[in-house]
Structure 1
Amino acid sequence: MDFKSIAEKRYTTKKFDATKKITDAQIEDLKHILKLSPSSINSQPWLFTFVSNEQVKNDLAHASYSNASKIKDASHLVVFSVMDNLEVFEKRVEENLLENSIKFYKQFVKTQTEEKTINWLSQQVYITLGFFLAACATMDIDSTPMEGIDPKKYKEILHIKDHKVLFSVALGHRHLDDDTQPNKIGKSRLTADTVIQSID
């Protein structure tokens, strides 16, 4: 199936089939794909936490407002976090980045306020989201990205250090009763002329 067809089929799943699980091999592939995610100056300021433990998933569901049922029924939950301990991050930069990337960071990123620097790092994590959702779709895995969560409770439950939780993605397979599937209601999108411009 070509990617255009995959994009037309993909949707944000509202109801997962709790009886269908993603295979271990697929999860390992997704982990590898996330590791390969692009970022500005190859900064990689992220942490991806894969959760399949039912008790932990249930605890996270209770910290996810209206998204609770999606998380409980999903096969896995992936939590995306950004490094907010800049001292630790700068050490990673010095140890792993190329000289030009280190120079860029010191001249254009580090010179900003801590808040602006973390915002810039957070933008890199959001780049991975699109990359990840596309990968899931090509593997016939359904997904639901969610910002409607309590980041502080997530961090506490998962014992995350030096990072701030940004959002999570529920993974699994759509339930046949999910009435929001594209083959039932179509896809609601603005016209191409509204959101795309071409300068020839």
Structure 2
Amino acid sequence: MNFLSLAQNRYTTKKYNPTKKVSNNDIESLKEILRLSPSSINSQPWKFIFVSDEAIKNALAAESFFNEPKIKDASHLVVFCAVDDIATFENQIQQHLPEGAVGYYNQFIKPQSEAAIKSWLQHQVYLSLGCFLSACATMAIDATPMEGIKIDAYNSILKLKNYTSLFALAIGYRDDNDTNQPSVKPKSRLHLDDIIEVV
């Protein structure tokens, strides 16, 4: 299947089959794909937490508003986190990035406010989301991205230090009766002419 077909057929899964689990091999592949995700200046200001332990998954589900049933039935929950301590990030790039990349950060990002810097860091994590959703589609793994989580509760349950949760993805395999799948509920998108301009 080509990528256009994958884009036409992937969707946000609303109901999972709780008996089907993503294989360990596929999980390892997804971890490596996340590791290879792009970020500005190769900054990599992130952490990705794969949750398969049912007790922890259920605890997080309880802090996820109307997303709770999806998380409970899904094979895994992946929590996408951004570094939340600027000193920690600056130490990381000093150790791992070339001088030019560090110079870019020091000249263009560091002079901004703390809120603006953290916003820039968090935007990098969202780049990895696109990679991850595309990877899941190519591997025939269903996924549900969700910002509907209680950030402070997630941070506490996961014992995060110097990082903060941003959003989570349930992954697994759809229930045959999921009414959100495109064969039941056709995808709805704006018309191409409304969103694409050629100049």
CA apart distance, 1:195: 1.0
Moved over 4 A (4+): none
Tell me the alpha carbon deviations over residues 26-74 of structure 1, each in whole angstroms, 9 at most, x when there is no partner.
0000000000000000000000000000000000000000000000000
CA apart distance, 1:169: 0.3
Tell me the alpha carbon deviations over residues 68-109 of structure 1, each in whole angstroms, 9 at most, x when there is no partner.
000000000000010011111101111111111000000111
- What amino acid sits opposite 1:180 in the alignment? N
* Structure 1 runs not aligned, ≥5 long: none
- Distance in 2, matches of 1:136 and 1:197, equals 29
- Computed over aligned residues only, the root mean square deviation of the Cα atoms, in angstroms, reads 0.6
Match of 1:83 in 2: 83
Match of 2:94 in 1: 94
- Distance in 2, matches of 1:198 and 1:137, equals 28
Tell me the alpha carbon deviations over residues 150-183 of structure 1, each in whole angstroms, 9 at most, x when there is no partner.
0110010011111111000000001011011101
- Distance in 1, matches of 2:118 and 2:164, equals 9
Counting only pairs closer than 5 Å after superposition, residues 102-121 of structure 1 correspond to structure 2 as: 102-121=102-121
- What amino acid sits opposite 2:96 in the alignment? N
- Are residue 66 (structure 1) and residue 34 (structure 2) matched? no
Match of 2:21 in 1: 21
- Distance in 2, matches of 1:179 and 1:153, equals 30
TM-score, normalising length: structure 2: 0.99
Mean Cα displacement is larger for which, 73-82 or 179-188? 179-188
- What amino acid sits opposite 2:87 in the alignment? E
- Are residue 196 (structure 1) and residue 174 (structure 2) matched? no
- Distance in 2, matches of 1:144 and 1:198, equals 32
Figure out how many residues of one structure are paired with residues of the other and give that number. 199
* Structure 2 runs not aligned, ≥5 long: none
- Distance in 1, matches of 2:84 and 2:115, equals 9
Match of 1:153 in 2: 153
- Distance in 2, matches of 1:102 and 1:90, equals 9
- Distance in 1, matches of 2:179 and 2:62, equals 24
Match of 1:127 in 2: 127
